[in-house]
């Protein structure tokens, strides 16, 4: 078993928003968001004009599991109320950089150079604006395009840094942006999207995730690895193979964090997820979602609905069990 952080470790990473996400924010790092409805009830937003459908959680992704661990009320706002969230520059830049790194592997190995990767940025930015028109509002107050140019420049730097950490001319990913889903014996459905899966000729599997933020300090490495162990558990459940290596590539700080899991790690994370799911189930039935204020509240889009900030949550849109 090994945990190593190559290079200096600084601050927690920023995140990525995937196209299918019902809501994400800077506190949730580079993780896909996928929730399917198990039960539905109508909900109306605070303005009384936009009808949304409230859902009881039926599946668990790493980011939503992290949300619940960070703050149960935040989980409720995102998964059950599905309150809208504003796109952020950091998350959108992460999405753009991920798209560029994924598409670069379309090219023959010898052509996977930094200039080529950077040349993909404008096209992927156009594509992102088409698929997620809400990101356009990020630069609406930037008529001269100065902030946009700076932001695109930062994306270039992140892409360029990747070439100091990995050599794509020597990589042939087995999978990119791989959607995975596995059902545990308990019936809990786990799902997510893995940035890259490498398979060695010997069959050993490496799971790779790109982060556009900085590597966490060593004392926070376990939190960063939670997402990777989640994916490793899903792969193990699907393929009956324990991935040989989990690898986090931090483009913001130029660090690579690796961990070689063993079966006991995956069994431990499975027990943790089952306990988490039971807590989510109980909160769903009782309607008792507690706020848990931390310094991450500064990133939360929902302070106006949060009692910790003088707000009131919207009416709970799901049935509440008597005595819950």
Regarding 308 and contact with ligand SF4 (CB under 6 A), the answer is yes
31, 300, 316, 317: which one binds ligand SF4 (CB under 6 A): 300
4, 131, 282, 303: which one binds ligand SF4 (CB under 6 A): 303
Coarse DSSP helix, strand, coil percentages of the chain, rounded to the nearest 5 percent: 45, 15, 40
Question: 81 or 255: whose CB is closer to ligand SF4?
Answer: 81
Cα–Cα distance for residue pair 262/151, rounded to 1 Å: 40
43, 54, 188, 297: which one binds ligand SF4 (CB under 6 A): 297
CB of 289 to ligand SF4, least distance (A): 9
Any idea what DSSP says for residue 283?
A: H
Contact assessment for residue 256 and residue 7, using Cβ atoms and an 8 Å cutoff: yes
Regarding 161 and contact with ligand SF4 (CB under 6 A), the answer is no
CB of 17 to ligand SF4, least distance (A): 17
Cα–Cα distance for residue pair 116/218, rounded to 1 Å: 34
Per-residue binding string, ligand SF4, 46-75, x by CB under 6 A, is -------------------------x-xx-
Cα–Cα distance for residue pair 52/83, rounded to 1 Å: 9
Any idea what DSSP says for residue 128?
A: H
7, 173, 223, 293: which one binds ligand SF4 (CB under 6 A): 293
* Binding range to ligand SF4, per CB under 6 A, among 123-131, 149-157, 181-189, 306-314: 306-314
Q: Where are the alpha helices (DSSP H) in the chain?
A: 62-70, 72-75, 89-104, 114-119, 121-131, 146-165, 221-239, 263-286
Binding residues (CB under 6 A) for ligand SF4: these are 71, 73-74, 291-293, 297, 300, 302-303, 306, 308-309
């Amino acid at each position: 078993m090994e945990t190593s952080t190559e290079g200096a470790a600084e601050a927690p990473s920023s995140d990525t928003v995937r196209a299918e996400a019902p809501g994400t924010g800077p506190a949730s790092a580079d993780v896909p968001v996928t929730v399917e409805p198990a039960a539905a009830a109508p909900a109306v937003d605070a303005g009384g004009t936009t009808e949304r459908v409230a859902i009881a959680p039926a599946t668990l992704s790493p980011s939503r599991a992290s949300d619940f661990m960070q703050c149960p009320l935040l989980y409720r706002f995102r998964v059950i109320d599905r309150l809208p969230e504003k796109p952020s520059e950091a998350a959108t830049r992460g999405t753009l950089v991920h798209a560029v790194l994924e598409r670069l592997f379309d090219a023959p190995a010898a052509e996977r150079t930094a200039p080529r990767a950077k040349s993909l940025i404008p096209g992927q930015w156009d594509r992102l604006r088409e698929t997620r028109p809400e990101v356009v509002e990020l630069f609406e107050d930037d008529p001269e395009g100065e902030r946009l140019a700076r932001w695109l420049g930062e994306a270039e730097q992140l892409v360029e840094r990747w070439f100091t950490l990995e050599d794509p001319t020597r990589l042939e990913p087995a999978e990119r942006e791989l959607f995975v889903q596995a059902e545990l014996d308990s019936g809990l459905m786990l799902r997510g999207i893995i940035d890259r899966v490498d398979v060695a000729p010997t069959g050993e599997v490496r799971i790779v995730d790109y982060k556009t933020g900085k590597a966490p300090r060593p004392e926070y490495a376990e939190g960063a690895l939670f997402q990777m162990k989640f994916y490793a558990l899903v792969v193990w459940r699907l393929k009956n193979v324990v991935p040989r290596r989990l690898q986090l590539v931090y483009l913001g700080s130029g660090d690579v964090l690796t961990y070689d899991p063993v079966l006991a790690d995956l069994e431990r994370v499975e027990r943790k997820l089952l306990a988490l799911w039971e807590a989510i189930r109980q909160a769903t039935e009782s309607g008792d979602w507690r706020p848990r204020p931390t310094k991450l509240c500064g990133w939360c889009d929902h302070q106006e609905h949060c009692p910790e900030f003088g707000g009131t949550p919207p009416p709970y849109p799901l049935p509440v069990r008597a005595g819950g």
